[in-house]
Amino acid sequence: MPELPEVETTRQGLAPHCIGRRVSEVAVHNARLRWPVPESLADTLTGRLIQRIDRRGKYLLLYCEHEANGHVGVLMVHLGMSGSLRLVEPGTDRKTHDHLVFSLSDREDDLDAEPQWELRYHDPRRFGCCLWLELPVEQHPLLVSLGPEPLSEAFDDQHLFRLSRGKSAPIKSFLMDSHVVVGVGNIYANEALFRVGIHPLREAGGISQARYKALSAAVREILAQAIERGGTTLRDFVNGKGEPGYFQQELSVYGRAGEPCVRCNKPLTEVRLSARSTVFCARCQR
């Protein structure tokens, strides 16, 4: 599943090529995603200027202005478990799972001109979404209860310590709770806990604020490193140009069950926690 670094990598890759262009046409080839594509999406989006592309958690937010009335709405995209947004040249053969195609005009605002790019939403498992939101987007049911961004100032040891009091849930589950903090998915939770030596099954409420300070710093560092390297490619993820990410080459524990720990050489242990692979070193993590 694309996690925060993969989504942020996609945002950064698309922005220079999409901002300032108009959507000249929308083709919906399959509307049956996790949340069905609105029937009116093509009519609503066609002719709008893409002003900016933001991210909230794992959701991409394309802010689009209507030329006639100045109305701004937002195309919200979630990549689900296997989705991607890719820029291709017009005329490129459409793949089986290219469910939506957005034709983007040149920057001269001539909608009758030949499109310069096609932005294609590709999703073999169809577990993502492409929805139209009205402002303010923060009030949408899928966004309203999300926790702070892990790379923001709102995410720190005080935030984690305060929310963890009285919690008996394992620290890994607590860290992956989007109400606590957004975007810390399975891969990066495993890596952050290893970096600071915290056992993933420890109760969140039993961890000191000092250790939460180290953990919050590790989360920020690992996510920033993953973004810099284009994310992690384990199965399906590619960025907006169809390129994989390379952070998987630096993973210390995730996907390495049974292999020697990079610190103590003891074989790494794997357990299932909430149906997700959890890999750790029983000697180094307490």
Q: Which residues are annotated as a binding site for DNA?
A: 97, 125, 167
Q: Is 200 a catalytic residue?
A: no
Asked whether 52 and 19 are in contact (CB, 8 A), the reply is yes
Q: Is 213 a catalytic residue?
A: no
- 3-state secondary structure (DSSP) of residue 232: strand
Q: Out of 34, 94, 229, 276, pick the active-site residue.
A: 276
Q: Out of 22, 58, 86, 172, pick the active-site residue.
A: 58
Asked whether 199 and 280 are in contact (CB, 8 A), the reply is yes
75-102 per-residue burial string, b: 16 or more CB within 10 A, e: under 16: bbbbbbebbbbbbbeeeeeeeebbbbbb
- Give the C-alpha separation, 235 to 80, whole Å: 13
CB within 8 Å of 127: residues ≥ 6 apart: 33, 34, 80, 81, 82, 83
- 3-state secondary structure (DSSP) of residue 27: strand
Q: Out of 2, 5, 150, 200, pick the active-site residue.
A: 2
Q: Out of 3, 6, 118, 191, pick the active-site residue.
A: 3
User: Which contiguous run of DSSP H or E holds residue 131?
Assistant: strand 129-134
Q: Is 58 a catalytic residue?
A: yes
Task: Sort strands 117-122 and 129-134 into parallel, antiparallel or unpaired.
Answer: unpaired
Q: Is 3 a catalytic residue?
A: yes
- Give the C-alpha separation, 72 to 90, whole Å: 27
Catalytic residue numbers read 2-3, 58, 276
